[in-house]
Amino acid sequence: MKKLKQRSILTFFSTTTILLFIVVFIFNSLVIQHLVFSYHDVNTSQTTFSTIQKLFHIIRSNGYERGRVNVVMNYQGQLDEMKKFRTFVTKHRQLGNKEIQGVFSELSNSQLKYDQNTLIQLKDKFLITQKLQTEYLKQFKLPFTERDLTHDDKWFNHMSVQIGTLSTLTYSIIEKNPIVIELKPYAKMIYLLTMLRNHAGPVVSYMKATTFNRSSLSLTRMEELKYRKIMVKNLIERLKIVSEDVLHSSTLNNINNFGIFYQNQVLIDADYIAENDIAQFIAPVDFRSYLKKGVNSLEQLNAITNEIFSQTVSIIEEKKREALLKLVVSIALSLLVFIILLINILRIYKLVYRRIIIAGQLMHELSANNTNIDIPDPLFNDEVGILEAGLIKFKGNILKLNNLNTKFEALSHQDSLTHLLNHESILGQLEKVHAESVRYDYSYCAIMVDIDWFKNVNDTYGHQIGDEVLQGFAQVLNRHIRNTDLLGRYGGEEFLIIFSHMTQKMASEITEKIKYDIANTHFSSEQINITASFGIAESRKNCEYKGIIRLADKALYQAKDSGRNCIVCHQN
């Protein structure tokens, strides 16, 4: 018989497994690397949109400051009559300067790519802006006849260039940084909105300034009005095209409404100015509401921009979760593959090792309180078999312990006397109701109930009778509670009712029935008659659930101060 060369099966399996490990590792590394880059792109998109949102806020503040300075410079009345306008200028000057300095700092410390020359130009222009701001503040203190109106054109033209530079910087950030494909239309919309804000504002301020000083509407400005009017119309049309099939229908309607409002309330008057001589211009009194309408149109534009930014935030968050989930799943799958390969090489060992591994895994699951696992019967009556039998007993003990824990958990949420929800539980449930009401936009009401003069019951009849009264009182309240409502003992003789999907008026009607029922019920073995006071508060969007409780509590104290045995609704 030919002598065979000795070979090791262990070596063969080990070599094969190691090679397979390497192949799988390289493949998974490439996949994970791609997913990491995708997640990085989403984060970069988030940073990009955060930065361009700040740039838009600067453009908004600069635009308001640019226009309102134009209006104040041409006002010929008393200085104190323009106090409101000067306050408006101060607000947006401070806000714009603070925001632009913040962006300078942020860009210098961030990893975002942008056009360096544009940023340098913007910094140079901002230095000039600060000088011009000092100059117009001096002009504001002078009567109209002493003002240097050349500063009006100098200021307005400079700020228009600065706003244009901000738009260019916005464009360079959008173009130079990776943005996930779903967000590219939104980025283009934001850029169009920065341009639209730049061109829509001057039409408003020029018009209002003309009502104060007709000579301010020079031929140059009239030509500028024509150009900006054309740009506004074109930008609105481009915005509609880009946003179609992308934005929510409500936002699309807002864009369309803005276009109609701006055309009918702003551009028609601007056309009148451009087409008539100054001598034929209608009296300023006819334009008292023009600035208000113009500012209203600009605020509509700001609201549209905020809606778009809000939608981008939702998309980015969704993309981050999706990218992170893919990354986690990919890593998890990679680990799973390696585990399977590792088990394959371990299978060549003796059966005892495999059984020990399984026993160890079962022990891990049981230690994590996972009882949804099947533990096989021992294969052999050996040391490992004793361990396997012990695991079966261990699982049984855990199931018994879990049943006891479930009972204790239920008891921990109940008030031991009334068997209603206790203080912590009712507040925990209220927090969930509040979150759902905000998410699905419905109302709920919180009713604080306090037994009137309950201390007298305890002092007269003793605490045992007082406990019977509390139990009977809880039963009366419970008769009026739906399955969707909540009832709990808030503390002492105070109870809290939560009526879900209910307005304050509806809650008040039900509370009247409860109040009547209480007044006509004899409580405890002593057949005691009692009354109660009620405070009702309806939920509101900008108030947390604890605030609703405070409002209901406040209403309850008003009920007590009003003589008790009554219902007080907190007025929104």
Least trusted range by pLDDT, from 87-96, 359-368, 435-444: 359-368
Residue with the larger pLDDT of the pair 438 and 36: 438
pLDDT tens-digit readout, 490-523: 999 999 999 999 999 999 999 999 999 999 999 9
The 10s digit of each residue's pLDDT in 59-84 is 999 988 888 888 888 888 777 777 88
Global pTM value: 0.54
Residue 282 has pLDDT above 50, yes or no: no
Nearest to 218 by CA among 159, 267, 274, 151: 274
Residue (of 161, 127, 158, 149) closest to 71 by Cα position:
149
| Residue 274 predicted with pLDDT over 60 | no
Residues 466-473: contacts with CB under 8 Å, at least 24 apart: 467/417, 468/523, 468/524, 468/525, 469/523, 469/524, 469/528, 469/530, 470/417, 470/418, 471/417, 471/418, 472/521, 472/523, 472/524, 473/418, 473/518, 473/523, 473/530, 473/532
The pLDDT of residue 528: 92
Q: 350 or 373, which is more confident?
A: 373
The DSSP symbol for 421 reads B
Lowest mean pLDDT among 16-30, 66-80, 85-99, 188-202: 16-30
Average pLDDT over residues 380-402: 73
Q: How would residue 214 be classed by pLDDT, with cut points 50, 70 and 90?
A: confident
pLDDT digits (tens, 9 = 90+) for 13-52: 567 667 777 877 787 777 778 777 788 888 888 889 899 9
- Higher pLDDT, residue 388 or 72: 72
pLDDT averaged over the chain? 83
Q: Which of 1-5, 227-231, 454-458, 522-526 has the lowest mean pLDDT?
A: 1-5
Burial of 91 from C-beta contacts in 10 A (0-12 / 13-18 / 19+): middle
Contact 300, 236 (CB under 8 A): no
CA 89, CA 93: separation in Å to the nearest integer?
Answer: 6
Residues 147-161: pLDDT tens digits? 888 898 899 899 999
Q: Does position 359 have pLDDT exceeding 60, yes or no?
A: yes
388-391 — which CB contacts under 8 Å span 24+ positions? 388/355, 388/359, 391/359, 391/362, 391/363, 391/366
pLDDT above 50 (res 248): yes
Note the pLDDT of residue 315: 86
Average pLDDT over residues 478-490: 93
Q: Who's near 1: CB < 8 A, 6+ residues apart? A: none
Rounded-to-integer distance, Cα 375 and Cα 399, Å: 13
**Structure confidence at residue 203 as a pLDDT band (50, 70, 90):** confident
Can you name the residues that pair with 447 across neighbouring β-strands?
A: 497, 536
Question: Has residue 1 got a pLDDT over 50?
Answer: no
pLDDT of residue 520: 93
Q: What is the pLDDT of residues 313-330, one digit of tens each?
A: 888 888 888 888 888 888
Q: Note the pLDDT of residue 431.
A: 92
| Better-predicted residue by pLDDT, 49 or 368 | 49
CA distance 216 to 93: 23
Per-residue confidence (pLDDT) for residue 284, from 0 to 100: 44
pLDDT at residue number 223:
81
Flag whether pLDDT at 281 surpasses 50: no
- pLDDT attached to residue 163: 92
Which residue in 55, 60, 176 sits closest to 122, CA to CA?
A: 55
Return the minimum-mean-pLDDT range out of 20-24, 350-354, 479-483: 350-354
144 secondary structure, DSSP code: G
Using 50, 70 and 90 to split pLDDT, how confident is the model at 378?
A: confident
For residue 169, pLDDT over 90 is answered with yes
> What is the reported pLDDT for 13?
54
Mean pLDDT of 448-475: 93
Q: What is the rounded radius of gyration, in angstroms, for the C-alpha atoms of the chain?
A: 37
The pLDDT score that the predictor gives to residue 285 is 37
C-alpha to C-alpha distances, 309 to 50, 61, 99, 274, nearest whole angstrom: 9, 17, 18, 35
Q: What percent of the chain shows pLDDT beyond 90?
A: 36
Highest mean pLDDT among 54-68, 179-193, 356-370, 545-559: 545-559
